């Protein structure tokens, strides 16, 4: 079996990412506490529970 071409791999990644909703990415970043406020204020810190993101 031969390895797939770089072009085919790139097409696969583009197609996969196009199916991911922006909202899913945003919520995932928030859940991992890797979001930055857009108004230059400090984050309030880590959430107390998962309910903060429901």
The pLDDT value given to residue 6: 97
Give Cα 31 distance to the centre of its chain.
10
pLDDT of 15 > 60? The answer is: yes
| CA–CA dist 10, 7 (Å, integer) | 5
The pLDDT value given to residue 34: 81
The pLDDT value given to residue 12: 98
Could you tell me the CA-to-CA distances from 9 to 2, 4, 19, 52 in Å, in that order? 13, 7, 16, 37
pLDDT in tens, 16-52: 999 999 999 989 988 888 876 666 665 555 555 655 5
pTM assigned to the model: 0.49
pLDDT of 10 > 60? The answer is: yes
């Amino acid at each position: 079996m031969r390895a797939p071409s770089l072009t085919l791999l790139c097409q696969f990644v583009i197609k996969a990412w196009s199916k991911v909703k922006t909202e899913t990415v945003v919520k995932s970043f928030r859940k991992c506490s890797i979001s930055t406020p857009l108004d230059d204020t400090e984050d309030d810190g880590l959430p107390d529970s998962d309910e903060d993101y429901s």
